[in-house]
Amino acid sequence: MTTTVLATGFAAAGATIGMLLSRRASREPDPQSIRVVLGVGVLVAAGGAGLAVWWQSLIRAAVGAPPVGLDWWAGATLAPAAAVTAIVLIPRVTAVVAASAVALTAGLLAPANADDGQPLPTTVVVSESQTLLRGQLSPLDFDGAAARLVESWLRSGGLSARAVVVAVPTGSGWVDQAAVAGFVDRFDGDVRILALPYADVESWKAFISGDAASTGSSVALVRELAEVLESRPAGQRPRLVLYGQSLGAVGADAARVWLEDHHPSLLAETVLTAPPAGTVATASASPRIVVANRSDPVVRWSLSSMWRPPTRPDETVLGGPRVPEIPWLPVVGFLQTSVDLLSALDGPAGVGHRYGAEQARPVIGLRE
């Protein structure tokens, strides 16, 4: 489906541009112009489909996935060819249909209106286990929610544990259970993991709206933790570890910067998994590891990749199968990464934007 939509979109855009250029000389394009636009459009669609099959075959072979089938071929060729034909031969009808489809989609995706002044829903502070403690969703009062979560941590015996992990969730409030299992195994079960949600929407919506909530909630939580940890001698308090995946990595890195500025002796390490390109600092003054799959497009995607190649933080450790890489080209690299985003969650752990217990690995050279 992803390939069908994208191939059709690019082919339709090309056909539309061709028709607009052919109308410059006269109000209606002549038959020869129509044949040229139609022929070029079909050839471009076919060439694009061939390149897509070649690239998909390389990627699938690298990650051990089955090769593309006839249904994939049909989606990559028939739909784009039909779109080009419709735009060239019946442009007015096609324009009406396209406009109706856009209007319907916009109506379905528009958010529901909320009453002004109505408080956002919250969740009760709960202990999902003796290990993972999830805080209250309170976007208007991060400090209060952080204080209540730290109180729950203290009641659970957190001060006597070997480590405390601040796990900054994604925009939907999700914390990867594979990472939780990894930290539990790494610290032999003697760990508390604290998660303070800052939103309850799809992660991509939270990412588009900005990282203020992610950074604000994470800093509020480490501020509360720091007050408690500073009251204990260095050898009698748990190790403080920061962790975040995707948008959560942005919040975790903001908490790292705050701790380095205000309580540098408290922070043991920071573990960032798959931060979007350009969203975290390129270097860290305290121990940090950045975990990224070689095939993960999230760590390469940014608007700036349209005019410059993406970069990785200094402490990045690549994992997962080795996959072929196309040299970066202006605009083209951004489009290719955008296409890859749509199927980033389709593979197993270690492929694309899927990660396993390896997220909890310690920083290289750091003593446990």
- For residue 8, what pLDDT is reported? 54
Domain check: are 22 and 151 in the same one?
no
What is the pLDDT at residue 87?
61
Per the model's pLDDT, the better-predicted residue between 344 and 280 turns out to be 280
Q: Which residue in 322, 324, 323, 340 sits closest to 332, CA to CA?
A: 340
Q: Same domain for 103 and 136? A: no
Q: Which residues pair with 166 in a beta bridge?
A: 194, 242
Amino acid (one-letter) located at 245 = Q
**What is the residue range of 57's domain?**
2-108
Into how many domains does the chain fold? 2
More confident residue, 233 or 7: 233
Q: Classify residue 192: in a domain, yes or no.
A: yes
Judge whether 367 lies within some domain.
no
User: Domain check: are 149 and 91 in the same one?
Assistant: no
Q: Which amino acid is at 173?
A: G
**263, 253, 196, 194: which is closest to 232 by C-alpha?**
263
- Looking at the domain assignment, is residue 184 inside a domain? yes
Q: Is the pLDDT of residue 128 over 70?
A: no
pLDDT in tens, 20-56: 555 555 555 556 665 665 566 566 666 666 666 666 6
Let me know whether 161 and 57 are in one domain: no
What does the pLDDT read at residue 105? 33
**What pLDDT does 329 receive?**
80
Residue-wise pLDDT tens digits, 298-353: 998 888 888 888 888 988 999 888 877 777 888 777 877 887 787 788 778 888 88
Q: Which residue has the tokens 């459009």?
A: 41
One-letter amino acid for residue 338 of the chain: S
Last residue of a domain, one of 50, 79, 108: 108
Tell me the sheet residues that pair with 191: 163
> Based on the domain organization, do 271 and 180 belong to the same domain?
yes
Q: Dump pLDDT digits (tens) for 222-235.
A: 999 999 999 888 88
CA distance 360 to 348: 18
For residue 125, what pLDDT band results from cuts at 50, 70 and 90?
very low
In a domain, 120, yes or no: no
Q: Could you write out the three-class secondary structure of 95-116?
A: HHHHHHHHHHHHHHHCCCCCCC
Q: Residue 348: inside a domain, yes or no?
A: yes
pLDDT digits (tens, 9 = 90+) for 195-209: 999 888 776 666 666
Q: Encode pLDDT of 88-116 as tens digits.
A: 555 544 444 444 343 333 333 333 333 33
51 and 94 share one domain: yes
Residues 104 and 130 in one domain: no
Res 40: pLDDT? 64
54 in a structural domain: yes
366 in a structural domain: no
DSSP state of 163: E
Tokens 């022929």 label which residue?
39
Q: 99 in a domain, yes or no?
A: yes
Residues 90 and 160 in one domain: no
Closest CA to 245 of 283, 209, 206: 206
